Amino acid sequence: MDENITELISDLRTYLEYLKGMGITSLPVAENVPEKVPRSETLTLADVRTELGDCKRCKLHRTRKTIVFGEGNEKATLMFIGEGPGYDEDMQGRPFVGRAGQLLTKIIESINLSREEVYIANIIKCRPPQNRNPEPDEIESCNPFLMKQIRVIQPKIICALGTFSAQTLLKTDTKITALRGKLYDLEGIKVIPTYHPAFLLRNPERKREVWEDMKKIAELLNNA
Ligand code: URA
């Protein structure tokens, strides 16, 4: 047997005897220990898309034109998650293709990546009427599918774009100004919130902060 394994077994035996000496005679079984990220080794994005089907799980199906599932590399190390489709995305069935999307493309390219190399999705997959904010029941209906996409892709880093994305993924009410640029954990995956590209179109002076966040993401990816 490999020397390391023999040593490991010996250490384990010593540890178990120590626990026994302390009066601990049973250990929790694996099914009681939560998995960090429930890994999906067999599920594919195509499976998730099939399961989603012609979704009518929330009221947005009545007004949407197209479901915007998400697009990009199934093996991406970096995933961007926005809020929800706008007019252009609803028309084309693709995420971030309008003005905000063009800015997102530039942001991605600023760290020498392309849209094809990352994965882009949204908190909700259907456009809310008049681009209103997503409502809690809509977010809740969509969330299992987004989580499955995350588990299939298993990115190293998720960049949460804007308030809704950051607050939904991190289950917090904290403002995006306080969240941005910091590192959080979503079941073992690093999450970095930053400003939404649509916010940057209205407030171009905040681009510098997003650039700082992107540099941090690039560094983390290079050291991963
Ligand atoms: N804004 C978003 O949050 N997502 C898109 O796909 C487009 C605009």
Q: What is the pLDDT of residues 123-157, one digit of tens each?
A: 999 999 999 999 999 999 999 999 999 999 999 99
Predicted TM-score (pTM) of the model is: 0.83
- Residue 163 clears pLDDT 80, i.e. is over it: yes
Q: Tell me the two tokens of residue 136.
A: 């809690």
| Neighbouring residues of 60: CB distance < 8 A, sequence distance ≥ 6 | 124, 126, 127, 128, 138
Task: Tell me how crowded residue 55 is: count the other CB atoms within 10 A of its CB.
Answer: 17
Stated length of the chain: 224
**31 pLDDT tier (thresholds 50, 70, 90):** very low
CB of 120 within 6 A of ligand 1: the answer is: no
Looking at residue 52, what is its pLDDT?
Answer: 98
Closest residue (by CA) to atom 7 of ligand 1? 96
pLDDT digits (tens, 9 = 90+) for 188-201: 999 999 999 999 99
Instruction: Please work out whether the CB of residue 165 comes within 6 Å of at least one atom of ligand 1.
Output: no
Contact (Cβ atoms closer than 8 angstroms) between residue 96 and residue 82: yes
Percentage of the chain exceeding pLDDT 90:
81
Report CA(179)–ligand 1 centroid distance (Å).
19
pLDDT digits (tens, 9 = 90+) for 94-111: 999 999 999 999 999 999
Indicate if ligand 1 lies below 6 Å from the C-beta of 83: yes
